[in-house]
Structure 1
Amino acid sequence: MAKSWPLFLSLLAVGRLGQCQGPATLKVPAGDCSSKAYQDTLVARYLDRGAHRISYLSPQWGQYCDSLIAACPNIAQAYQQKAMPLIKCGDYAQAFPLVDKAVELDANRWLAYRGFLKCIFSKDYTGAILDFQRVAKLKPNGREMDHTYPFFEGACELELGHYKLAETAFAQDIALQRGGDGSGQLHFNSLFYAGVVAARLKQYPQAQAYLLQCLKAYPQHPEANYYLALTYQALGQPAVARQYLEAAQRALIGGYRLNEDNIFYTNYPGQITEYEVTQALKDLRG
């Protein structure tokens, strides 16, 4: 499993100020914006051969996006790409109107993305659920950021404290991954969250089954070790609980995390730090 990048935060801090400022617009050629071929030419020029060849932390990223918008204001990807660095800077007030514009222009492509941003970044759980329910009608059984739509609905319901709804959503998520023949491979974080929901419902044997499956796929998963420890503690088995808490602690010290792409920018539901593990170990000692 990949470890976190030790220099990431320092690099982000260096580039944050410049990227969050509004850059000037480059000159653009005139053309027919109703033409898909012309749109593709502009995307190739300003994104593929422009912004995507530099860091999104550079002010030039915004210049390329502004130029694309100036040339053709009906290209949804231009607004999404302009919003992306702002999201990662935490400037949601400026970012979401741009994402909303992308959704307005191309809901089929960007509605699930907006739901993901609401769920993971801005913590607008109710808004995220509505987006995923809407996009499910447009693209049944679709996926976003390597997960099914019910995965994100389940994460939102979990954070809202709607545990039975979360349980249903993660059951749908797991069923979709398994497929019709039941042979599909499950994402370890689906198993993790299903385990957390079961634990919140005090269904401890079921929670342990999910979390152990998660750890079979990803033994260093800090959160799975931590929540599994809590189930053993709830069942009056402190010695076993301590083993899993210590495993969670070793994993965190070793740099292991939930292993989702965006954990460098925001916390995922149920994500822990060494503080939670240390406190849990102290509680075991009485």
Structure 2
Amino acid sequence: MKTFLLFVLFPVILFSQTSTMMKNLDDTQKKILLNLVKEDAKVSIFSIQHQQYLDSILIILPKEAFFWQQKAMPLFKQKKYELGMVYLNKAVELDKTNHYKEYRAFIKCVFQKNYTEALNEFKALSEENENGVIMDHPYTFWMALCYLQLNQFDVSKRYMEKAVAFGKKYNEVNPYEMFYLGVIEYEKGNYQEAIKNLDISLKYYKDFADAKYYKALSLARTDKKEEAGKLLLESKENFEIGKSFNEGNSLYETFPYQVSRLSYVSLEAL
């Protein structure tokens, strides 16, 4: 369903962006551009043809950051990170705002898994806007993930707590933020605190397989192995019906500590 919506919405987004970019074009250029956009809407965004249409559009609009980012985006989702970054860097160079800078920091965190560079970029962005948000999470959430993946658990906890506090200002509790707080406490050996945070995550995302998985691990560490075993079975059942990560980009890229089928195979002896 998500993939279908992507194909349906992309032409709409492209047309809306293009209409505001044509004011300095002559009639011939406008006609060619609109035809390119029309033909591009007929092909998959993951196809070579899509890249070729964007190349043609960029001959007409070489300074439009949007189209450089559009060349990059499907490449990242095909795990062609190095190639995608060439185009995204061009978008960042041309854009006068931080829009593509924050997108690049996100890409480096979740897709490229280049945590040190992602941290540096998010820190620079935070100096300009401490309340910045990208992909439905504040910058502090992504910074916390970077520190988590660098095994700097205490620092990761501080940043994730800031992300949680940011949401509470708007009366929102994000189950993924609470999940990661639970994971951090699990890694720190604070199993009761881990269970507490994972329970909050499960309150807001019922049957979240990943939260149940790490709660089961935490229970096992507190000698509640029978309860842990039952919960692990529940987690696996939930996982099999898709009750795992459903973040916007988790369709294309694995998030830190996201469970997989192999996660359950390795714990058969629990």
Distance 2:173 2:216 in 1: 22
Is the Cα contact below 8 Å between 1:154 and 1:166 reproduced in 2? yes
Question: In the alignment, does 2:206 pair up with 1:205?
Answer: no
Change (3 A) 1:47 1:273: farther
Is the Cα contact below 8 Å between 1:108 and 1:139 reproduced in 2? no
Question: In the alignment, does 2:67 pair up with 1:78?
Answer: yes
Residue 206 of structure 1 deviates from its aligned partner by 1.6
Identity %: 29
CA distances 1:6-58 after superposition (whole Å, capped 9, x unpaired): x9xxxxxxxxxxxxxxxxxxxxxxxxxxx88438x79x848875645642023
Superposition pairs of residues 43-192 of structure 1, within 5 angstroms: 45=34, 49=38, 51=40, 54-106=43-95, 107-179=97-169, 184-192=171-179
Letter in 2 for 1:97: V
1:240 to 227, 234, 243: 227
Q: Secondary structure at the match of 1:74?
A: coil
CA distances 1:163-211 after superposition (whole Å, capped 9, x unpaired): 01100110110011111xxx51111101101110111111222211110
Letter in 1 for 2:181: A
Residue 95 of structure 1 deviates from its aligned partner by 0.8
Residue 256 of structure 1 deviates from its aligned partner by 2.4
CA distances 1:46-96 after superposition (whole Å, capped 9, x unpaired): 887564564202333212321222112211111110011111111112111
Indicate the structure whose relative CO is greater, using CA pairs within 8 Å and at least 6 residues apart.
1
Distance 2:72 2:211 in 1: 33
Change (3 A) 1:37 1:168: farther
Question: In the alignment, does 2:208 pair up with 1:218?
Answer: no
Change (3 A) 1:47 1:100: farther
Q: Secondary structure at the match of 2:268?
A: helix
When the two structures are superposed, what TM-score results if normalisation uses the length of structure 1? Answer: 0.79
Distance 1:211 1:232 in 2: 11
Is the Cα contact below 8 Å between 1:69 and 1:78 reproduced in 2? yes
Distance 2:224 2:203 in 1: 21
Question: In the alignment, does 2:24 pair up with 1:38?
Answer: yes
Letter in 1 for 2:244: R
When the two structures are superposed, what TM-score results if normalisation uses the length of structure 2? Answer: 0.84
Q: Secondary structure at the match of 1:84?
A: helix
Residue 247 of structure 1 deviates from its aligned partner by 1.2
Letter in 1 for 2:234: A
Please identify runs of 4+ aligned residues in structure 1 that moved more than 6 A. none
Change (3 A) 1:47 1:127: farther
Letter in 2 for 1:190: E
How many pairs does the alignment contain? 248
Q: Name stretches of at least 5 consecutive residues in structure 1 with no aligned partner.
A: 8-34
Aligned position for 2:8: none
Of the structure 1 ranges 131-140 and 193-202, higher mean CA displacement relative to structure 2 is found in 131-140
Distance 2:122 2:191 in 1: 29
Is the Cα contact below 8 Å between 2:173 and 2:204 reproduced in 1? no
Aligned position for 2:251: 264
